[in-house]
Structure 1
Amino acid sequence: MSERSPAPGGLTLVQSLVNTLDLESGADALDTAEGRERFGIAEGEAAGARELRESLRVALLAHAGHPAHRSVTPLGELLAAAPLLVTVSPSDGSAALAPADTGPLLSRVAAAVAESLVAGTWTRLKACEAVDCHWAYYDRSPAGRGRWCSMQVCGARAKMRRYRAKA
Protein backbone atom coordinates (compact mmCIF):
# COMPACT_ATOMS: atom_id res chain seq x y z
CA MET A 1 0.00 0.00 0.00
CA SER A 2 2.50 2.55 1.15
CA GLU A 3 5.30 4.19 -0.78
CA ARG A 4 6.89 5.34 2.48
CA SER A 5 10.29 4.03 3.50
CA PRO A 6 10.45 1.25 6.09
CA ALA A 7 10.60 1.95 9.80
CA PRO A 8 14.05 2.15 11.41
CA GLY A 9 15.72 -0.62 13.38
CA GLY A 10 13.63 -3.36 14.92
CA LEU A 11 10.43 -1.52 14.09
CA THR A 12 10.77 -2.97 10.60
CA LEU A 13 9.72 -6.32 12.11
CA VAL A 14 6.65 -4.77 13.76
CA GLN A 15 5.72 -2.89 10.59
CA SER A 16 6.13 -6.03 8.47
CA LEU A 17 4.02 -8.11 10.83
CA VAL A 18 1.16 -5.59 10.95
CA ASN A 19 1.26 -5.36 7.16
CA THR A 20 0.77 -9.11 6.65
CA LEU A 21 -2.98 -8.46 6.41
CA ASP A 22 -4.41 -6.42 3.54
CA LEU A 23 -7.75 -5.27 4.93
CA GLU A 24 -9.01 -4.14 1.52
CA SER A 25 -8.53 -7.51 -0.19
CA GLY A 26 -8.59 -9.75 2.90
CA ALA A 27 -5.29 -11.39 1.86
CA ASP A 28 -3.35 -12.61 4.90
CA ALA A 29 0.31 -13.52 4.35
CA LEU A 30 0.19 -15.64 7.51
CA ASP A 31 -2.14 -18.01 5.63
CA THR A 32 0.79 -19.06 3.44
CA ALA A 33 3.86 -21.12 4.30
CA GLU A 34 6.07 -18.42 2.73
CA GLY A 35 4.44 -15.70 4.81
CA ARG A 36 4.87 -17.65 8.05
CA GLU A 37 8.45 -18.50 7.12
CA ARG A 38 9.28 -14.75 6.89
CA PHE A 39 8.57 -14.53 10.61
CA GLY A 40 9.95 -17.91 11.61
CA ILE A 41 6.62 -19.28 12.78
CA ALA A 42 5.00 -22.66 12.24
CA GLU A 43 1.45 -23.13 10.99
CA GLY A 44 0.29 -23.88 14.55
CA GLU A 45 1.67 -20.52 15.73
CA ALA A 46 -0.22 -18.44 13.17
CA ALA A 47 -3.21 -17.74 15.47
CA GLY A 48 -0.89 -16.29 18.13
CA ALA A 49 0.90 -14.21 15.49
CA ARG A 50 -2.46 -12.87 14.28
CA GLU A 51 -3.43 -11.94 17.83
CA LEU A 52 -0.11 -10.13 18.26
CA ARG A 53 -0.54 -8.42 14.88
CA GLU A 54 -3.97 -7.03 15.75
CA SER A 55 -2.85 -5.87 19.22
CA LEU A 56 0.05 -4.07 17.54
CA ARG A 57 -2.33 -2.54 14.99
CA VAL A 58 -4.53 -1.13 17.79
CA ALA A 59 -1.44 0.41 19.44
CA LEU A 60 -0.37 1.93 16.11
CA LEU A 61 -3.86 3.32 15.54
CA ALA A 62 -3.61 4.94 18.99
CA HIS A 63 -0.24 6.47 18.04
CA ALA A 64 -2.04 8.25 15.20
CA GLY A 65 -4.97 9.28 17.40
CA HIS A 66 -7.44 6.86 15.81
CA PRO A 67 -9.88 4.65 17.74
CA ALA A 68 -9.35 0.90 17.94
CA HIS A 69 -10.91 -0.98 15.05
CA ARG A 70 -11.93 -3.87 17.31
CA SER A 71 -11.42 -5.31 20.75
CA VAL A 72 -8.10 -7.13 21.17
CA THR A 73 -5.84 -8.48 23.90
CA PRO A 74 -3.92 -5.45 25.21
CA LEU A 75 -0.43 -5.34 23.74
CA GLY A 76 1.13 -4.92 27.19
CA GLU A 77 -0.40 -8.22 28.32
CA LEU A 78 1.03 -10.05 25.32
CA LEU A 79 4.49 -8.49 25.63
CA ALA A 80 4.63 -9.28 29.36
CA ALA A 81 4.96 -12.94 28.39
CA ALA A 82 8.13 -12.27 26.38
CA PRO A 83 11.25 -12.44 28.57
CA LEU A 84 14.00 -9.99 27.69
CA LEU A 85 17.60 -9.92 28.85
CA VAL A 86 19.91 -6.98 29.34
CA THR A 87 22.99 -7.52 27.22
CA VAL A 88 26.22 -5.57 27.66
CA SER A 89 28.84 -5.32 24.95
CA PRO A 90 32.31 -6.26 26.23
CA SER A 91 33.96 -3.96 23.67
CA ASP A 92 32.24 -0.65 24.48
CA GLY A 93 30.01 -1.35 27.49
CA SER A 94 26.82 -0.42 25.65
CA ALA A 95 23.67 -2.11 26.92
CA ALA A 96 20.56 -3.30 25.10
CA LEU A 97 17.50 -5.42 25.67
CA ALA A 98 17.42 -8.66 23.73
CA PRO A 99 14.98 -11.57 23.56
CA ALA A 100 15.77 -14.30 26.07
CA ASP A 101 14.91 -16.73 23.27
CA THR A 102 15.45 -15.49 19.72
CA GLY A 103 13.03 -17.99 18.21
CA PRO A 104 9.58 -16.85 19.28
CA LEU A 105 8.08 -13.99 17.33
CA LEU A 106 6.66 -12.48 20.53
CA SER A 107 10.15 -12.14 22.05
CA ARG A 108 11.55 -10.55 18.90
CA VAL A 109 8.67 -8.08 18.77
CA ALA A 110 9.10 -7.25 22.48
CA ALA A 111 12.81 -6.55 21.89
CA ALA A 112 11.95 -4.35 18.89
CA VAL A 113 9.42 -2.37 20.95
CA ALA A 114 11.94 -1.96 23.78
CA GLU A 115 14.63 -0.81 21.32
CA SER A 116 12.25 1.74 19.78
CA LEU A 117 11.23 3.04 23.20
CA VAL A 118 14.85 3.74 24.03
CA ALA A 119 15.41 5.32 20.60
CA GLY A 120 12.25 7.41 20.90
CA THR A 121 10.78 6.03 17.68
CA TRP A 122 7.93 3.83 19.00
CA THR A 123 5.16 6.43 18.69
CA ARG A 124 6.23 7.34 15.14
CA LEU A 125 5.08 3.90 13.95
CA LYS A 126 1.39 4.39 13.15
CA ALA A 127 -1.53 2.76 11.38
CA CYS A 128 -3.32 4.47 8.51
CA GLU A 129 -6.56 6.25 9.38
CA ALA A 130 -8.47 4.70 6.44
CA VAL A 131 -10.80 2.00 7.80
CA ASP A 132 -10.22 -0.23 4.77
CA CYS A 133 -6.43 0.09 5.13
CA HIS A 134 -4.92 0.45 8.64
CA TRP A 135 -1.51 -0.21 7.02
CA ALA A 136 1.48 0.36 9.31
CA TYR A 137 3.78 3.20 8.30
CA TYR A 138 6.61 5.13 9.92
CA ASP A 139 5.73 8.82 10.24
CA ARG A 140 8.77 10.85 9.25
CA SER A 141 6.90 14.15 9.04
CA PRO A 142 8.56 16.93 11.05
CA ALA A 143 5.55 17.42 13.33
CA GLY A 144 4.78 13.69 13.57
CA ARG A 145 1.16 14.26 12.59
CA GLY A 146 0.81 11.95 9.58
CA ARG A 147 -2.60 10.29 9.19
CA TRP A 148 -2.34 8.04 6.15
CA CYS A 149 0.07 5.46 4.85
CA SER A 150 -0.04 7.18 1.47
CA MET A 151 -1.12 10.73 0.77
CA GLN A 152 -1.59 9.78 -2.90
CA VAL A 153 -3.99 6.90 -2.13
CA CYS A 154 -5.61 6.89 1.32
CA GLY A 155 -5.14 10.61 1.95
CA ALA A 156 -6.53 11.53 -1.47
CA ARG A 157 -9.55 9.26 -0.96
CA ALA A 158 -10.30 10.81 2.43
CA LYS A 159 -10.01 14.34 1.08
CA MET A 160 -12.26 13.47 -1.87
CA ARG A 161 -14.89 11.99 0.48
CA ARG A 162 -14.83 15.17 2.59
CA TYR A 163 -15.08 17.33 -0.54
CA ARG A 164 -18.07 15.34 -1.86
CA ALA A 165 -19.78 15.44 1.53
CA LYS A 166 -19.59 19.26 1.47
CA ALA A 167 -20.88 19.51 -2.12
Structure 2
Amino acid sequence: MSERSAAPGGLALIESLVNTLDIETGRDSLDTADGRARFGLTEDEVPDARALRESLRAVLLAHAGHPPHREATPLGELLAHAPLHVAVDAHDGSATLAPADTGPLLSRIAAAVAEALVAGTWTRLKACEAETCHWAYYDRSPAGRGRWCSMQVCGARAKMRRYRAKDPPAKEP
Protein backbone atom coordinates (compact mmCIF):
# COMPACT_ATOMS: atom_id res chain seq x y z
CA MET A 1 0.00 0.00 0.00
CA SER A 2 2.47 2.62 1.17
CA GLU A 3 5.79 3.76 -0.20
CA ARG A 4 6.83 4.95 3.27
CA SER A 5 9.75 3.37 5.07
CA ALA A 6 9.06 1.11 8.03
CA ALA A 7 8.41 2.55 11.46
CA PRO A 8 11.42 2.78 13.79
CA GLY A 9 12.29 0.27 16.49
CA GLY A 10 9.59 -1.98 17.86
CA LEU A 11 6.90 0.05 16.12
CA ALA A 12 7.87 -1.82 12.93
CA LEU A 13 6.43 -5.00 14.48
CA ILE A 14 3.14 -3.26 15.26
CA GLU A 15 2.99 -1.67 11.81
CA SER A 16 3.69 -5.02 10.20
CA LEU A 17 0.96 -6.81 12.21
CA VAL A 18 -1.67 -4.17 11.46
CA ASN A 19 -0.78 -4.34 7.79
CA THR A 20 -1.39 -8.09 7.54
CA LEU A 21 -4.95 -7.30 6.46
CA ASP A 22 -5.59 -5.49 3.18
CA ILE A 23 -9.03 -4.01 3.89
CA GLU A 24 -9.65 -3.11 0.23
CA THR A 25 -9.14 -6.67 -1.06
CA GLY A 26 -9.90 -8.62 2.11
CA ARG A 27 -6.58 -10.50 1.84
CA ASP A 28 -5.18 -11.47 5.23
CA SER A 29 -1.61 -12.73 5.27
CA LEU A 30 -2.32 -14.47 8.60
CA ASP A 31 -4.29 -16.97 6.47
CA THR A 32 -1.00 -18.22 5.04
CA ALA A 33 1.74 -20.28 6.65
CA ASP A 34 4.34 -17.70 5.61
CA GLY A 35 2.27 -14.88 7.08
CA ARG A 36 1.90 -16.71 10.39
CA ALA A 37 5.60 -17.61 10.44
CA ARG A 38 6.55 -13.90 10.24
CA PHE A 39 5.02 -13.49 13.70
CA GLY A 40 5.81 -16.94 15.12
CA LEU A 41 2.12 -17.87 15.19
CA THR A 42 0.40 -21.23 15.02
CA GLU A 43 -3.01 -21.54 13.37
CA ASP A 44 -4.59 -21.75 16.83
CA GLU A 45 -3.10 -18.37 17.77
CA VAL A 46 -4.46 -16.52 14.73
CA PRO A 47 -7.84 -15.49 16.26
CA ASP A 48 -6.04 -13.80 19.18
CA ALA A 49 -3.56 -12.17 16.77
CA ARG A 50 -6.46 -10.82 14.71
CA ALA A 51 -8.12 -9.39 17.82
CA LEU A 52 -4.82 -7.76 18.77
CA ARG A 53 -4.41 -6.41 15.24
CA GLU A 54 -7.85 -4.75 15.28
CA SER A 55 -7.27 -3.30 18.76
CA LEU A 56 -4.01 -1.83 17.51
CA ARG A 57 -5.72 -0.49 14.37
CA ALA A 58 -8.37 1.24 16.53
CA VAL A 59 -5.62 2.96 18.54
CA LEU A 60 -3.72 3.95 15.40
CA LEU A 61 -6.90 5.44 13.94
CA ALA A 62 -7.32 7.39 17.20
CA HIS A 63 -3.72 8.64 16.88
CA ALA A 64 -4.77 10.10 13.51
CA GLY A 65 -7.99 11.58 14.95
CA HIS A 66 -10.40 9.03 13.48
CA PRO A 67 -12.99 6.77 15.12
CA PRO A 68 -12.43 3.00 15.00
CA HIS A 69 -13.77 1.30 11.88
CA ARG A 70 -15.22 -1.64 13.83
CA GLU A 71 -15.66 -2.88 17.38
CA ALA A 72 -12.41 -3.98 18.97
CA THR A 73 -11.30 -5.06 22.41
CA PRO A 74 -9.60 -2.09 24.08
CA LEU A 75 -5.85 -2.43 23.62
CA GLY A 76 -5.18 -1.82 27.30
CA GLU A 77 -7.27 -4.87 28.21
CA LEU A 78 -5.23 -7.08 25.89
CA LEU A 79 -1.84 -5.68 26.93
CA ALA A 80 -2.70 -6.15 30.62
CA HIS A 81 -2.14 -9.88 30.01
CA ALA A 82 1.32 -9.44 28.47
CA PRO A 83 4.13 -10.57 30.79
CA LEU A 84 7.00 -8.06 30.74
CA HIS A 85 10.05 -7.57 32.92
CA VAL A 86 12.63 -4.86 33.40
CA ALA A 87 15.87 -5.82 31.67
CA VAL A 88 18.97 -3.97 32.89
CA ASP A 89 22.16 -3.94 30.84
CA ALA A 90 25.12 -5.01 33.02
CA HIS A 91 27.57 -2.84 31.06
CA ASP A 92 25.89 0.56 30.90
CA GLY A 93 23.01 0.19 33.36
CA SER A 94 20.37 1.07 30.77
CA ALA A 95 16.95 -0.45 31.39
CA THR A 96 14.11 -1.48 29.11
CA LEU A 97 10.84 -3.32 29.41
CA ALA A 98 11.21 -6.65 27.66
CA PRO A 99 8.92 -9.60 26.99
CA ALA A 100 9.13 -12.16 29.79
CA ASP A 101 9.12 -14.74 26.99
CA THR A 102 10.21 -13.87 23.45
CA GLY A 103 7.61 -16.16 21.89
CA PRO A 104 4.17 -14.67 22.56
CA LEU A 105 3.21 -11.97 20.10
CA LEU A 106 1.24 -10.11 22.77
CA SER A 107 4.34 -9.68 24.94
CA ARG A 108 6.45 -8.52 22.01
CA ILE A 109 3.76 -5.98 21.08
CA ALA A 110 3.54 -4.77 24.70
CA ALA A 111 7.32 -4.31 24.81
CA ALA A 112 7.19 -2.39 21.52
CA VAL A 113 4.47 -0.09 22.89
CA ALA A 114 6.51 0.50 26.06
CA GLU A 115 9.62 1.27 23.99
CA ALA A 116 7.68 3.74 21.83
CA LEU A 117 6.14 5.41 24.90
CA VAL A 118 9.59 5.98 26.39
CA ALA A 119 10.94 7.22 23.04
CA GLY A 120 7.95 9.52 22.53
CA THR A 121 7.09 7.94 19.18
CA TRP A 122 3.93 5.99 20.06
CA THR A 123 1.47 8.57 18.72
CA ARG A 124 3.40 8.91 15.46
CA LEU A 125 2.23 5.43 14.44
CA LYS A 126 -1.14 5.98 12.76
CA ALA A 127 -3.68 4.36 10.49
CA CYS A 128 -4.58 5.84 7.11
CA GLU A 129 -7.72 7.96 7.02
CA ALA A 130 -9.05 6.24 3.89
CA GLU A 131 -11.93 3.91 4.82
CA THR A 132 -10.86 1.31 2.27
CA CYS A 133 -7.27 1.34 3.55
CA HIS A 134 -6.58 1.99 7.27
CA TRP A 135 -2.99 0.89 6.56
CA ALA A 136 -0.56 1.55 9.43
CA TYR A 137 2.20 4.06 8.78
CA TYR A 138 4.74 6.04 10.76
CA ASP A 139 4.07 9.77 10.47
CA ARG A 140 7.40 11.47 9.82
CA SER A 141 5.85 14.84 8.95
CA PRO A 142 7.37 17.71 10.96
CA ALA A 143 4.06 18.64 12.62
CA GLY A 144 2.89 15.03 13.03
CA ARG A 145 -0.33 15.67 11.14
CA GLY A 146 -0.11 13.09 8.37
CA ARG A 147 -3.47 11.65 7.34
CA TRP A 148 -2.77 9.05 4.67
CA CYS A 149 -0.40 6.13 4.22
CA SER A 150 0.41 7.50 0.78
CA MET A 151 -0.17 10.98 -0.51
CA GLN A 152 0.10 9.62 -4.07
CA VAL A 153 -2.67 7.05 -3.60
CA CYS A 154 -5.00 7.54 -0.64
CA GLY A 155 -4.32 11.27 -0.29
CA ALA A 156 -4.84 11.89 -4.00
CA ARG A 157 -8.09 9.90 -3.99
CA ALA A 158 -9.41 11.89 -1.01
CA LYS A 159 -8.50 15.20 -2.60
CA MET A 160 -10.16 14.16 -5.87
CA ARG A 161 -13.35 13.13 -4.02
CA ARG A 162 -13.45 16.49 -2.24
CA TYR A 163 -12.87 18.32 -5.52
CA ARG A 164 -15.65 16.41 -7.28
CA ALA A 165 -18.05 16.97 -4.36
CA LYS A 166 -17.75 20.75 -4.62
CA ASP A 167 -20.61 22.61 -6.22
CA PRO A 168 -19.82 23.53 -9.80
CA PRO A 169 -19.15 27.24 -10.24
CA ALA A 170 -22.20 29.27 -11.21
CA LYS A 171 -22.30 30.22 -14.87
CA GLU A 172 -22.62 33.85 -15.65
CA PRO A 173 -25.63 34.88 -17.79
TM-score category of the 2 structures, normalised to the smaller one: over 0.9
Letter in 1 for 2:159: K
CA separation in 2, counterparts of 1:112 and 1:146? 22
How many percent identity over aligned positions?
80
Aligned length: 167
CA separation in 1, counterparts of 2:67 and 2:108? 26
Query: What does residue 52 of structure 1 align with?
Result: 52
Unaligned runs of 5+ in 1: none
Residue by residue over 1:33-88, the C-alpha shift from the partner in whole angstroms, topping out at 9 and shown as x without a partner, is 10000000000000000000000000000000011101110000000000110010
Letter in 2 for 1:21: L
| 1:121 to partner: Cα distance | 0.4
Query: What does residue 86 of structure 1 align with?
Result: 86
Compute the TM-score of the two structures, normalised by the length of structure 2: 0.96
Query: What does residue 160 of structure 1 align with?
Result: 160
Query: What does residue 33 of structure 2 align with?
Result: 33
Query: What does residue 71 of structure 1 align with?
Result: 71
Structure number with larger C-alpha Rg: 2
| 1:151 to partner: Cα distance | 0.2
Q: SS of the counterpart of 1:126?
A: strand
Q: SS of the counterpart of 2:22?
A: coil
Letter in 2 for 1:151: M
Residue by residue over 1:122-156, the C-alpha shift from the partner in whole angstroms, topping out at 9 and shown as x without a partner, is 00000000000000000000000000000000000
Unaligned runs of 5+ in 2: 169-173
Q: SS of the counterpart of 1:149?
A: coil
CA separation in 1, counterparts of 2:23 and 2:68? 14
CA separation in 1, counterparts of 2:138 and 2:100? 27
Letter in 2 for 1:105: L
Give the 4+ runs in structure 1 shifted more than 4 A: none
Compute the TM-score of the two structures, normalised by the length of structure 1: 0.99
CA separation in 2, counterparts of 1:4 and 1:48? 28
